[in-house]
């Protein structure tokens, strides 16, 4: 039995199974991999084999036939065990959704099964160095040359390019009728001639890296264009709600991980007469963060339910709010967890400080908190556009 406010037995069981699997790896393993410059391929392949990676992708293309709520649950449970996988936000959620919804039959057959079984991870590239948040200013272009497309431009902060076989790239093509540039989506193999990338040194403790990408006259067949040349914007938006829901789940999972560690520590550590958790100065910030996180989880589930019901408009507001709330909850939870640990909070042994940047990144990517506040001010409250 499930009600509007509870998850189905099936979803709860999915969470249990993913948590069990991820526990076998755990935070220490994840951090060790990150510090050694190694990858988390075993975990990725194990979740793929169990059917969790493509749980949202239609069954006929190798997926589980579930919804975004299911893949978000997978993402959250991994993060709650200290193994947040950023590429889950990208490959199954953004790329999987866009291709499953708008790809041609041949494109779905070509790209979806590999993204579900873990052999063909797809990165996603929209951000550009000069355009930043203002993607209307992006300059990566796609030019027709006979039957082929030629892509040229640069992208920045693109996650996981080194682990990906393909990148779903947003590039602007000239409209034959109006001459205006319109966004289109192209699947670019990472081994294409003219496609280069270099890692950006980041302070996040994660095996998953960010890259600057250089696209220098990369030639692609006509079939690299996803779906409809004139529907690029709609197709792109179809990937953005799932992206926000996944980012929210990444944050709520991280918050749960930090709160669990901090609560255990606060029960055990005694400095004066009683465990430090008996002091409200320690207990209340943890309790507040837990409340914030539960609220964020509820909004995330609402957003996922709206996406799965096909209500993209309502899902847009809910997904933005969920992502905002979850990032705030994670920042507060991790900060309180560090404080609870005292000096131990910033040692490598206890692993708390390593979560600070990861949680903080949730306020910046994939869409910043300021842009969400702009969206809510304009669309939910009807206030004037400020930019």
Ligand X SMILES: Cc1cc2nc3c(=O)[nH]c(=O)nc-3n(C[C@H](O)[C@H](O)[C@H](O)COP(=O)(O)OP(=O)(O)OC[C@H]3O[C@@H](n4cnc5c(N)ncnc54)[C@H](O)[C@@H]3O)c2cc1C
Largest distance between two CA atoms of the chain: 79
What is the nearest approach in angstroms of ligand X to the Cβ of residue 90? 6
Among 47, 73, 126, 171, binds ligand X (CB under 6 A): 126
Determine contact, residues 94/38, Cβ cutoff 8 Å. no
Phi, psi of 295 (to 5 degrees): -65, -40
Interface mask toward ligand X for 200-229; x: CB under 6 A? ----------x-------------------
Phi, psi of 210 (to 5 degrees): -110, 150
Residue (61 or 324) nearer to ligand X, CB: 324
# binding residues, ligand X (CB under 6 A): 21
Whole-number Å distance between alpha carbons of 125 and 161: 9
Among 40, 121, 159, 300, binds ligand X (CB under 6 A): 159
Sequence-separated (6 or more) residues with CB below 8 Å from residue 44:
53, 85, 87, 118, 121
How crowded is residue 207: how many other Cβ atoms within 10 Å of its Cβ? 24
Residue (282 or 322) nearer to ligand X, CB: 322
Q: Residue 364 interacts with ligand X (CB under 6 A)? A: yes
Whole-number Å distance between alpha carbons of 194 and 217: 6
Q: Taking contact as CB under 6 A, which single stretch among the options 57-65, 289-297, 324-332, 360-368 is the one that binds ligand X?
A: 360-368
Determine contact, residues 246/93, Cβ cutoff 8 Å. yes
Determine contact, residues 356/206, Cβ cutoff 8 Å. no
Q: Residue 28 interacts with ligand X (CB under 6 A)? A: no
Residue nearest to ligand X (CB): 132
Q: Taking contact as CB under 6 A, which single stretch among the options 48-56, 126-134, 217-225, 261-269 is the one that binds ligand X?
A: 126-134
Among 102, 111, 124, 324, binds ligand X (CB under 6 A): 124
Q: Residue 115 interacts with ligand X (CB under 6 A)? A: no
* 197: helix, strand or coil: strand
What is the nearest approach in angstroms of ligand X to the Cβ of residue 20? 28
Rule CB under 6 A: which residues touch ligand X? 90, 124-127, 132-133, 157-159, 210, 361, 364-368, 370-371, 374, 387
């Amino acid at each position: 039995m499930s009600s509007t406010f509870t998850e189905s037995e099936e979803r709860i069981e999915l969470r249990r199974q993913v948590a069990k699997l991820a526990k076998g790896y755990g935070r220490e393993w994840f951090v060790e991999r990150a510090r050694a410059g190694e990858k988390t391929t075993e975990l990725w392949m194990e979740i793929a084999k169990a059917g969790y990676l493509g749980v949202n992708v239609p069954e006929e293309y190798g997926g589980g036939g579930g919804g975004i709520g299911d893949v978000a649950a997978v993402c959250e449970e991994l993060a709650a065990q200290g193994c947040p996988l950023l590429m889950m936000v990208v490959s199954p959620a953004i790329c999987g959704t866009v291709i499953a919804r708008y790809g041609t039959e041949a494109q779905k057959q070509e790209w979806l099964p590999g993204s579900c079984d873990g052999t063909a991870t797809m990165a996603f590239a929209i951000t550009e160095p000069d355009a930043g948040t203002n993607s209307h200013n992006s300059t990566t272009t796609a030019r027709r040359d006979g039957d082929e497309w030629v892509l040229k431009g640069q992208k920045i902060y693109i996650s996981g390019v080194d682990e990906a076989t393909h990148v779903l790239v947003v590039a602007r093509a000239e409209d034959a009728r109006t001459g205006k540039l319109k966004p289109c989506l192209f699947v670019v193999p990472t081994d294409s001639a003219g496609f280069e990338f270099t890692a950006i040194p980041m302070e996040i403790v994660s095996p998953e890296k960010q890259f600057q990408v250089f696209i220098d006259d990369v030639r692609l067949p006509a079939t690299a264009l996803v779906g409809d040349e004139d529907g690029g914007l709609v197709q792109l938006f179809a990937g953005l709600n799932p992206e926000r829901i996944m980012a929210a789940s990444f944050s709520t999972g991280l918050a749960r991980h930090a709160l669990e560690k901090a609560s255990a520590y606060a029960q055990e550590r005694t400095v004066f007469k009683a465990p430090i958790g008996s002091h409200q100065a320690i207990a209340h910030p943890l309790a507040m963060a837990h409340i914030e996180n539960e609220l964020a989880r509820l909004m995330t589930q609402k957003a996922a339910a709206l996406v799965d019901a096909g209500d993209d408009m309502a899902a847009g507001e809910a997904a933005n709010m969920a992502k905002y709330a979850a990032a705030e909850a994670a920042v507060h939870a991790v900060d309180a967890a560090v404080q609870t640990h005292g000096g131990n909070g910033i040692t490598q042994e206890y692993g708390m400080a390593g979560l600070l940047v990861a949680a903080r990144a949730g306020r910046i990517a994939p869409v910043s908190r300021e842009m969400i506040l702009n969206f809510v001010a304009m669309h939910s409250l009807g206030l004037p556009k400020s930019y």
